Structure 1
Amino acid sequence: MQPAISISGVSKTYASGFSALKDINLDIRHGEIFALLGPNGAGKTTLISIVCGIVNRSSGTVMVDGHDIGRDYRAARALIGLVPQELTVESFETVWAALSYSRGLFGKAPNPALIEQILKDLSLWDKRDAKIITLSGGMKRRVMIGKALAHEPKILFLDEPTAGVDVELRQDMWAMVRSLRESGVTIILTTHYIEEAEEMADRVGVINRGEIVLVEDKDELMRKLGRKQLRMELRKKLDTVPPSLAGYGLELSPDGDTLTYTYDHQSDRPGVASLLRDLEAADIAFRDLDTENSSLEEIFVNLVRKAS
């Protein structure tokens, strides 16, 4: 099956000489949630804008479900819903009119039942006749999402969709995103709330200084690059770590009560099973064990630091 989006050799250089994107190659699979992460100015919004036809690429090709965005722009754009980072809504329109107008822009016949369902999913139904100027920032952002969904796109771009949205409404939005994915919609999101990407994404791409640093299944990324810690609360205090355990790089707490073992998939240190055997041989017993895995945020920060 061809990808939902195929980006090949895409670069963007502005007249000033600044290279915002450098030879981007990326395929987005049908029906996945793909999180594109990167620091401010990394090129995330530029890449999204090129795929959506808002910014012209300097080189390369972009295919949307087999449609070239240059040669077959209308067909490609009709498949895409975009929730931009900036709020761009007509202040004096009503919520209902804004969604209905967006649907009409794509040549879709009126569908009041669909608009009603979208507004209910976004907790906006009671605001359907309100002018957008009267809404809070979080509600305006939900209107933006509704406008993007009004023409029933097969691919949805969410560029910082929950910025300024409170925690409860953020959870409602992600429940809707999950249901969209279950219905077959492909979702590409950028977010500064990395815990959202950790919870939602199937795959993660990291972009930095206009270049793709890494693309990986989220679970595999966390397995390969995630750091793990094993903390052992000891039955008897230690003054120092015995020489027989020196190869593990164990850290002894100042009070001598706890040993901490840090390891990861790429480490050449022995495994936990080997450590437990050597602890027993050294006559070191523990009363409790606690493990901790690094978060996607820690992995992201380390990747960007290495790439900078």
Structure 2
Amino acid sequence: MPTPRQSDGQPSSATLSAAISAVGLRKSYGDKTVLDGIDLRIPAGSVFALLGPNGAGKTTAVKILSTLIGADAGTLHVGGHDLATDPQAVRAAIGVTGQFSAVDNLITGEENMLLMADLHHLPKQEGRLAAAELLERFDLTEAAKKPASTYSGGMKRRLDLAMTLVGNPRIIFLDEPTTGLDPRSRHTMWGIIRGLVSGGVTVFLTTQYLEEADELADRIAVLNDGRIAAEGTADELKRLIPGGHIRLRFTDPAAYKSAASALREVTTDDEALALQIRSDGSQRKLRSILDRLDSEGIEADELTVHTPDLDDVFFALTGPADIPNKTKENVR
């Protein structure tokens, strides 16, 4: 996924207009290559999810793009600023919520917020106003005067994200933000993230929950062995994996036999009176099957479309039986 560059070697306007862009990002620790020349381009106001097995380099990518550690190579821009020449401007434009909470358990939720306001050098009154608004927005007003040590895991995670937003960043890095949360708290966090994006914030998300990426991300990249194995929308990635099919079930044996004769390359199930046709789940494939049945005057009693999910994609791309590189490139 090459990023456009001008003839003089400078990043093009397309690169600079992206909220986050990386070309040839590399990072090694000793003789271990963690990131092996990855390219990313993330539009403003979108959610980008980076998936990969433990140790794939997801957190390393977040740390580099948020200026916490340096890259070995690569042209990197965040918020239109060059990480190599203007890291301070990058820090002013971003917020980071890491895997481990930044909440101080010894002080109250409100005091945590005010501490962040001081770190952002906000005037006292402005800091108090920002803290109060965010505590209300994250449904923490009632608990604001209580020590953070008394908060549940979900409350601490909401407070952590609220603290990240004190400086009003337009780009947020969320490194596995819902790890360890119960399903209700996770869904609450999803709603908060969606609200941020609807307000124009760009979110770079790493997660171990494939359902989370499916729910939230506009685009998803799968990182494996230091490289981007595939990138695309959730639907594009699912269509890479074989196993998708359309299933037709009949109650009339005659209709079942007629459909089996009319359709090509079907798998039959005589006992269930069902037909299975390989499909990528596209509208075109479904329409062609229905048109064929209509032309023969055949009507199925039940039609279901089965497509691989992100679990299938993840295991196929990060396991030993990878899909062909040529196929992967088609969705980049």
Measured against aligned partners, the alpha-carbon deviations of 1:56-84 in whole angstroms (never above 9, x if no partner) come to 21222321122222321211111111110
d(CA) in 2 for partners of 1:281 and 1:149? Answer: 58
Aligned to 2:6: none
d(CA) in 2 for partners of 1:108 and 1:280? Answer: 68
Summarize the alignment of residues 266-305 of structure 1 with structure 2, pairs less than 5 Å apart: 271-272=285-286, 275=289, 286-305=300-319
Among 178, 181, 188, the alignment partner of 1:172 is: 188
Among 79, 95, 103, the alignment partner of 1:65 is: 79
Aligned partner letter, 2:198: E
Match status 1:10 vs 2:10: no
Among 119, 125, 136, the alignment partner of 1:105 is: 119
Measured against aligned partners, the alpha-carbon deviations of 1:187-219 in whole angstroms (never above 9, x if no partner) come to 111122222221221111111121112222344
Q: Secondary structure at the match of 2:245?
A: strand
Summarize the alignment of residues 227-238 of structure 1 with structure 2, pairs less than 5 Å apart: 228-237=244-253
Deviates more, 1:4-13 or 1:293-302: 293-302
Among 248, 262, 271, the alignment partner of 2:278 is: 262
Q: Secondary structure at the match of 1:286?
A: coil
Aligned to 1:155: 171
Aligned to 2:135: 119
d(CA) in 1 for partners of 2:263 and 2:301? Answer: 22
d(CA) in 2 for partners of 1:94 and 1:243? Answer: 68
Kindly indicate whether the alpha-carbon contact (under 8 Å) linking 1:4 and 1:29 is maintained by their aligned counterparts in 2.
yes
Aligned partner letter, 1:139: M
* Change in 2 beyond 3 A, CA 1:39/1:169: same
Deviates more, 1:21-30 or 1:231-240: 231-240
Kindly indicate whether the alpha-carbon contact (under 8 Å) linking 1:34 and 1:204 is maintained by their aligned counterparts in 2.
yes
Kindly indicate whether the alpha-carbon contact (under 8 Å) linking 1:6 and 1:64 is maintained by their aligned counterparts in 2.
yes
Q: Secondary structure at the match of 2:164?
A: helix
Kindly indicate whether the alpha-carbon contact (under 8 Å) linking 1:235 and 1:285 is maintained by their aligned counterparts in 2.
no
Measured against aligned partners, the alpha-carbon deviations of 1:116-155 in whole angstroms (never above 9, x if no partner) come to 2222222222111122222222222222111111111110
Kindly indicate whether the alpha-carbon contact (under 8 Å) linking 2:96 and 2:173 is maintained by their aligned counterparts in 1.
yes
d(CA) in 1 for partners of 2:168 and 2:297? Answer: 65
Deviates more, 1:33-42 or 1:132-141: 132-141
Unaligned runs of 5+ in 1: none
Task: Give 1:222 deviation, angstroms.
Answer: 4.4
Measured against aligned partners, the alpha-carbon deviations of 1:287-306 in whole angstroms (never above 9, x if no partner) come to 22222333233233323335
* Change in 2 beyond 3 A, CA 1:154/1:240: same
Kindly indicate whether the alpha-carbon contact (under 8 Å) linking 1:232 and 1:258 is maintained by their aligned counterparts in 2.
yes
Aligned to 1:89: 103
* Change in 2 beyond 3 A, CA 1:97/1:233: same
d(CA) in 1 for partners of 2:119 and 2:198? Answer: 26
Aligned partner letter, 1:68: D
Kindly indicate whether the alpha-carbon contact (under 8 Å) linking 2:259 and 2:298 is maintained by their aligned counterparts in 1.
no
Aligned to 2:8: none
Aligned to 1:24: 38
Kindly indicate whether the alpha-carbon contact (under 8 Å) linking 1:233 and 1:286 is maintained by their aligned counterparts in 2.
yes
Q: Secondary structure at the match of 2:50?
A: strand
Match status 1:144 vs 2:160: yes
Aligned to 2:327: none
Kindly indicate whether the alpha-carbon contact (under 8 Å) linking 2:249 and 2:300 is maintained by their aligned counterparts in 1.
yes
Measured against aligned partners, the alpha-carbon deviations of 1:247-301 in whole angstroms (never above 9, x if no partner) come to 41x33337242222221179xxx94455457668999763222223332332333
Match status 1:33 vs 2:47: yes
Unaligned runs of 5+ in 2: 1-12, 324-332
* Percent of residue pairs bearing the same amino acid type: 33
Count of aligned residue pairs for this structure pair? 303
Q: TM-score, length-normalised on structure 1? A: 0.86
Kindly indicate whether the alpha-carbon contact (under 8 Å) linking 2:280 and 2:307 is maintained by their aligned counterparts in 1.
no
d(CA) in 1 for partners of 2:63 and 2:175? Answer: 10
* Change in 2 beyond 3 A, CA 1:233/1:246: closer
Q: Secondary structure at the match of 2:142?
A: helix
